[in-house]
Amino acid sequence: MIKNNFELDIKMKCLESGLTQAQLGERIGTSEQYVNRVIKQKAGNILNKTFVKMMEAMGYDVVVSYEKRNEE
């Protein structure tokens, strides 16, 4: 099972970074609409489903963590 709520995670990181979805889309070379579609997907569609199934079969849940890069 994937424990993260990617939609909430991305929206919170946008707020923390002072970015709109449109600005995020621009930074990655896509549209605001595409960013919105991606973050509204089920977590299994964002992460590789086979990877998640393998981890679950071994008794693990998947938890993604985020660390801010130090940009010098």
Question: How many whole angstroms separate alpha carbon 48 and alpha carbon 2?
Answer: 11
Domain residue ranges in the chain: 6-57
Integer-rounded Cα radius of gyration of the chain: 14
Q: Where does the pLDDT of residue 70 fall: very low under 50, low under 70, confident under 90, or very high at 90 and above?
A: confident
Condensed to tens digits (0 to 9), the pLDDT of residues 2-61 reads 788 888 888 999 999 999 999 999 998 999 999 898 888 877 677 777 778 877 888 889
Question: How many whole angstroms separate alpha carbon 2 and alpha carbon 47?
Answer: 9
Question: How many whole angstroms separate alpha carbon 9 and alpha carbon 12?
Answer: 5
